[in-house]
Amino acid sequence: MLRALRHGFRLFRVARRLAVHDALFPSEIVAEMPAFARLGRKVLSIQLRPRRRPDVEGKSPGERLALALGSLGPTYIKLGQSLAARPDLVGEQVARALAQLQDRVPPFPAAEARRIIEYELMHPIAEVFQSIEDVPVAAASIAQVHFAVTTEGRDVAVKVLRPGIEPAFRRDLDALAWAAAFAERHIPPLRRLRPRETVRTLAEVSFLEMDLRLEAAAASELSLSLAEEGRVRAPAVDWSRTARRVLTVDRVKGIPIGDRAALVAAGHDPKALAATLMQSFLDQALGHGFFHADLHQGNLFVAADGAIVVIDFGIMGRLSRPMRRFMAETLIGFITADYMRVARVHAEAGILPSHKSVELFAQALRSIGEPILGRPTREISIARLLQQLFMVTETFAMETQPDLLLLQKTMVVVEGVCGGLDPDMNIWEVSRPVVEKWLIATFSPEHRLLDAAEGAAGIARRLPGLMEKLEKLGAQVTESGLRLHPETAKAIAAGQAATQRRLWWAVLALAAAVVVLAVTD
């Protein structure tokens, strides 16, 4: 009871703020809401009408929601950004408006930042930095960044976690989790939005961002894959000056990628930069399965040597090898207009529910693919194609793939940045070299052999556990009075042994084949 009252009071404050921005209840579901919810909406609307903010006039529902969430603080800013990656839940227009939600809040005092740095690094400031600027260069909902100079004379950027942010997030997320459970129980129209799942995902992402050592690890891992191409890079991490609440990296010196005029004045080619950014992102996602998922203009700079430097590694995406293979099959199916193949791939991957018609799903896919056939490729957005695909999958009650949604959301942002650099860029032509290399690698005999080896090794690893379960099952059957004939038991044991031998021989043969291919390559 006390928990409900505590959360109720906190959420009433949130409801009032949403009502002030005319963003409390989506008008699309008012008719379906239960009577108590409609009454609450009416009461709040009447109570707050004179206080309604003038800056919401003429705004769309998504824009009003973005303004309201931005005024509620860090947790709700993150909630809005998470919902921006879920157009399948909130709709395309609302997602687009939430994507513009600015993660900027007033900075906290420099003295507090120094205290946190000294506590986390366990040394006085003077022992690790020659100097550190009092005014932060950036202040966001979770952390702020100060420029500094190390005792060795190296220019660095120091990211410091906002004081008290962890308990504040926990309080807000606990209240949101309670509200999500309440909504799923009592407001049926909201169940399709899966509010509890949304809050759970938000909690996971937010608390990962609050350990800056994880962000440092992400920057380091991404640097390894970016080093292969050289045209895009990430600043080096100073691990000796990094802890849970403090992250130190080399200071980035360059021109913001959104300042096209300054780039041209400095002798850089915006069209070449657009192509580089698009190809690098696709190579990260498809080639390595690990990509920067927050590539907006504020996180991208162009260095004097023409390389693109990316910063802020709090939001990263991963695609497993099976997921990348699934994407390859899907892409080939759309390219060749083989929609039945795409539908079967979804069914075989277990994404299309078994009770749904593969043929009907193929028909829905045709509705996406046919309108783009024959159109100039520069008029076709990859992100838009992915988004339409996700909308169709929602219609067929298919399980949401969060990593693919994050990929689609990032693709929208990357396309926007590239469009600012080169409005005439043909995205498909620019992407072709990376996509072709990825498809060749994905369907090459060597790659298929590696997939088979991994599958066989996985079965072999699980075999002892399966054998143990079979033994326990046999014991239970015997205890219940049902006994197997001795010859039957022997046959089962012999079959298990033969299966195990075949699996181990298969693993050894595959491993040998991989070695031979590597030597002869």
**What residue ranges do the domains of the chain occupy?**
2-103, 104-169+199-251, 254-443, 446-520
Is the pTM higher than 0.75? The answer reads no
**Any idea which residue has 């420029």 for tokens?**
147
Residues of 48-66 as b/e, b for ≥16 C-beta within 10 angstroms?
A: beeeebeebeebebbbbbb
Token look-up 């399966």 returns 466
User: Which residues are 329's β-sheet partners?
Assistant: none
Q: Which residues pair with 89 in a beta bridge?
A: none
Beta bridge partners of 302: 255, 308
For residue 105 the two structure tokens come to 């809040």
Per-residue pLDDT of the chain (521 residues; tens, 9 = 90+): 566 666 666 777 777 777 776 666 555 455 555 665 666 666 655 555 545 556 666 677 777 888 778 777 777 887 787 777 666 566 667 777 777 776 667 899 999 999 999 999 999 999 999 999 999 998 887 899 999 999 999 999 999 999 988 888 888 888 888 888 877 777 776 665 667 777 777 777 777 778 899 999 999 999 988 877 678 999 999 999 999 999 999 999 999 999 999 999 999 999 999 999 999 998 898 888 899 988 888 899 999 999 999 999 988 888 888 888 877 777 777 767 788 888 888 888 777 888 888 898 888 888 877 776 655 555 666 666 666 776 676 677 666 666 666 777 788 788 888 888 998 887 777 877 887 788 777 776 655 555 555 555 554 555 555 455 445 544 544 444 444 445 544 554 555 454 444 444 444 444 444 333 444 44
Whether 408 and 390 have beta carbons less than 8 Å apart is answered as yes
pLDDT for position 160: 96
pLDDT at 50: 45
Long-range contacts of 101-106 (CB under 8 A, 24+ apart): 101/66, 101/69, 101/70, 101/77, 102/70, 103/77, 103/78, 103/140, 103/141, 104/139, 104/140, 105/73, 105/74, 105/77, 105/139, 105/140, 105/141, 106/139
Other CB atoms closer than 10 Å to residue 23's CB: what's the count?
Answer: 20
Contact 162, 108 (CB under 8 A): yes
Relative orientation angle of helices 445-479 and 321-335, to the nearest 10 degrees = 120
Architecture of domain 104-169+199-251: 2-Layer Sandwich (3.30)
Tokens of 99: 């994507």
Clarify whether 269 is annotated catalytic. Answer: no
CA distances from 259 to 177, 254, 270, 295, 302 (A): 41, 11, 10, 15, 10
Identify the active-site residue in 294, 312, 338, 451: 294
- Long-range CB pairs of 228-232, under 8 A, 24+ apart, other chains included: 229/280, 229/283, 230/307, 231/276, 231/280, 231/306, 231/307, 231/308, 232/276, 232/277, 232/280, 232/307, 232/308, 232/309, 232/310
Residue 345's contacts (CB-CB under 8 Å, 6 or more residues apart) are 326, 329, 330, 333
